[in-house]
Structure 1
Amino acid sequence: MGAGRPGFPGGTAVSHLTVYDWPGPDGLAGGSPHLHTASAEGYVVVGGRGRLETLSAAGVGTHPLTAGTVLWFTPGTVHRLVNDGGLQIVVVMQNAGLPEAGDAVFTFPEAVLADPDRYAAAAALPPVAEAGEDVVAAAARRRRDLALDGFASLRARVADDGPAALDRLYERAGALVAAKAPGWRSTWEHGVRAGVDETGSVLAALAGGDAAHLRAASVHVGERREQPYRYGMCGRLRTWDVAAVAG
């Protein structure tokens, strides 16, 4: 990668998440159910307790979360974080840049998922600097509750009919992100793929007894992208700038 900055290991992104403690329509506090279309997601629980509710090829699942839990899931897994008290997580996202560019799709009701304009309006939050904290918090809560509405129906269908009940959601999700996917390839090539290719070159050199790359050893510190915690899908979060920078 030349004289540029290497990205965080594996081309991943890192954030600190304080899961929403707002009660939802079912009385459970937590985040907005959604899925990722191209990226896996990992959790390292650093405080509190809760659970992850999932819908996947395995059907309906519930996974306890306590300090020290390490859990991850693949694209297409519908997931909802439930906060049973002080739940805080370090989130590691595959394909840094793709989730931030619209890789995720909320489980809004079918009528919203079927209309790209309605979906975009329901998913958007106003800027805090313009609208203020209270307005943005209320919008984030409405968005979460709308996703919970769709999730409740979807979960019931998966419980009754099995994983095939997810097929319509997957079709809608694919349609919603199709126009964005070509742009994701450039992000992936300059981040994840570049790191993999670099490792391939290093292994080839080492196999020939060449360790010259070690002379370029370096240390890097990621800068916070946001100072205050912003409103995310599942809670208030901060991210760090850990992407590779070309030389």
Structure 2
Amino acid sequence: MKKFISLLLTLVMSLTVAIPFGSAQTQNDINEEENGYVFDESFTQDQIDKIIANVESEELQEQAEEGNLLQPYIDDSGTFIKFDDVKALEDGLPLELVQKTKEDYDKANAYLAKQQPKFSIQAKAKANCGGTNKFVGNIVAGTVYVDSCKTNKIIAIIAGGGGASSLVALLPGGAAIAVVAVAIYTIGGAVISYNAADGNGIKIKILKNPITGKVYPYWVKPQ
């Protein structure tokens, strides 16, 4: 009987030690669920913090919505980005938005002009633009594919300090995919450049936070 009680006490003590550890793990899981964001290990913690802060920014969300208005006036099929600012003003787009967008694209085109020899070599090696442009997925998750030519222009806009709205028209899917512009904008030019180095363009896994409803990038990889 004494032996049985001794074993029982040992079991109780072991459970007492185990429970706090188990509770801590469970609490971490709960905290993760409350946060609602999940990222691939390729992102550093600093990058993750920046992405979350920018995705939660109302200013950037508004910029993405403004980008929908700009789409009919932007042509990025050539070497540089063409913006019909005159037509945009005639059609009633806000003067401030048009001026800011023109400034963004002027800076981006200046950057593209400086990088042209490098991009031209990539284009010849890949027979024009490497990769494809499309969005595969739904409102909850998906992958944005951006070819090398569009990727170079996205890098140029970010390098010139352009706003998220200026990226919208460059993304596959038009207005329906505009919400991912903020997600792509938050990644930053360095990460995009690294994954676009082989000239095939990039692909970006997009997820939707089930708690906040915000769209954010899960990972970025070469096509």
TM norm. shorter chain > 0.5: no
User: Between Structure 1 and Structure 2, whose CA radius of gyration is higher?
Assistant: 2
Q: Shorter-normalised TM-score: what interval?
A: under 0.3
TM-score by length of 1: 0.23
Higher normalized helix content (fraction of residues): 2
Structure number with higher strand proportion = 1
